[in-house]
A and B are shown apart, each in its own frame.
Chain A
Amino acid sequence: MNLSKVFTRTAITTPERQLEADADLVVVRQVQAGDVASFDRLIVKYRERVFGVIYNLVANREDAADLSQDTFIKAFQAINRFQGGCSFFTWLYKIAVNTTLSHLRKNRMRSFFSLEKLSEEGGNAQIIDQLTDKRGADRDTYLRELQEKLNEALQKLSIPHRTVITLFEIDGLSHSEIAEVMACSEGTVRSRLHYAKQFLQGELGKYLNS
């Protein structure tokens, strides 16, 4: 079966994404056929990305962990409903975002922020180097402050705007994928993205010199 023909609704932008979607669909079909253990492969593959999306939305480590687990359980329970109309990771993102938005709406007044430690493994060190040329304790203090300011600015955004900027800038989803995940038009996604960027530039202007 040509799996690429299955994905008609979502425009998968890159060939890598297409290959990834095809591979996921094979695993999903195995799970649907009764091979429940295959779902663990999907968990391991996507847990960091799902956690990352949720963490950037709720800005709380414990809540992000709970919501990530809930996302995977919901996905497992609904796996038989997955028809392959979109890629598995878009479908999983949709569950994650909906679960998170529901949580945020329920706990609108509650806000406990906790920051993860910045990992400087692999290519991450390069990103941090780009932000600061400090070394030692100054560097850590600076990065910590930057992290806090960034979190504060993100939390000031409305939930839809925060979701769009998180999915686009941090998770690297395309406009069409975000539109699919958020069940809105691409125009809405672009509009929200533009507004969110303008807002963040206003909030973090003194740390930017673009």
Chain B
Amino acid sequence: MLKPDQKSKVTLEDLLRLKRVELPSPEFWVNFEKELRQKQLTALVQKRHWWHQLPVLINRRIYIPAGAAAIMAFSLVTIRYSVPTQVGQMPKIAPRVVAEDSAVEMLPATVVVESVSSRTGYQEGTDVRASARVPEVLPANLAAVPALSLPREVEVAVARPLVAALSRLEQPESDLMESALGNRLSVPARIQPASVSKSEVASMTPASTGKYQLIARYAERSLSPAPTAPAVVRERLARRLGDDLGDSISRIGVVGSRVSLKF
């Protein structure tokens, strides 16, 4: 049996040297050579995949032109998307419509800020006095909006949504309601809004005003936090409703057992 203590002066290095003498027999090398030949032949006929060539390509230093091309492409893309457009040169501050009529200011300001900021990324907080071509039908206080103190291109860009918003004020009530309640309507309703003309509204009987009341109630329910547009709608609807109602009542006449209506 093994008796380690019987040995004299054996170090770890001596012990590890034992591994050096662990050698295979000469027959092993004959077999080794034969197998190696077979493997070499197999490797020669075996089709190599493209990724095996990658180190060769890297070794040939194609990465220098390839890297240069990649940098060029990246630079071009960066320049392409970073060239500031004329609108983009504007300070990133959103315009705020200044108008004397608070009702007018509320609705278009929201729309304008949304539309302009969605396109140019503006922030709210700066007064921009739009010099949009205000339609003649607008009230005098709206037409008196001062001119922009910005370049003409910027004026056009800012004024476009303003004009669109202001012109909405002159839309029929049905369109106004649709614009205000559009988000709350179902998709088909938004796609095909009911087109009610002024004459149709005027021809409504007092009983049909219940529809307006329902709409007004619906608008009162605050589904989203602090909706500003429904307040405008309510105000305008109430104003128009009062006019319609007073007008309708004055046209009703009772003669004996007959009720007459004036149109």
Contact = CB atoms under 8 A, between A and B. Distances in A.
Contacts of B43: 73, 76-77
B39 A69 contact: yes
Interface string A50-68: 0110011000010001001
A73 B7 contact: no
Contacts of B10: 130-131, 207-210
A65 B13 CA distance: 26
Interface string B23-57: 11100110011011001100100000000000110
Given A81-B56, A207-B7, A200 B12 contact: yes
Interface stretch (B14-22, B138-146, B161-169): B14-22
Interface stretch (A16-24, A92-100, A139-147): A139-147
B59 interface: yes
Given A77-B43, A208-B10, A124 B21 contact: yes
Contact of A197 (B7, B12, B20, B24): B12
A115 B43 CA distance: 30
Nearest to A201: B12
B208 interface: no
A66 B48 CA distance: 20
Contact of A145 (B2, B8, B25, B33): B2
Interface residues of A, number: 52
Contacts of B222: none
B20 to A, nearest CB: 6
A12 interface: no
Interface in A117-168: 117-120, 124, 127-128, 130-133, 141-143, 145-147, 150, 165-166
Interface residues of B, number: 36
A116 interface: yes
B85 interface: no
A61 B40 contact: no
Nearest to A40: B33
Nearest to B28: A65
A106 interface: no
A45 B79 CA distance: 59
Nearest to A169: B16
B11 interface: yes
Contacts of A118: 18, 21-22
B24 A51 contact: yes
A165 B1 CA distance: 29
A35 interface: no
A72 to B, nearest CB: 6
A117 to B, nearest CB: 7
Nearest to A81: B59
A197 B14 CA distance: 12
Nearest to A151: B19
A131 B19 contact: no
B9 interface: yes
A165 to B, nearest CB: 7
Contacts of A166: 19
A5 interface: no
B9 A165 contact: no
The 6 closest A-B pairs by CB, nearest first: A124-B21, A116-B22, A169-B16, A210-B11, A119-B23, A207-B4
10 contacts: A47-B29, A47-B32, A76-B43, A81-B56, A115-B22, A127-B14, A147-B18, A204-B15, A208-B15, A209-B8
Interface of B: 1-2, 4-25, 28-29, 32-33, 35-36, 39-40, 43, 55-56, 59
Interface of A: 43, 47-48, 51-52, 55-56, 61, 65, 68-70, 72-73, 76-78, 80-81, 115-120, 124, 127-128, 130-133, 141-143, 145-147, 150, 165-166, 169-170, 197, 200-201, 204, 206-210
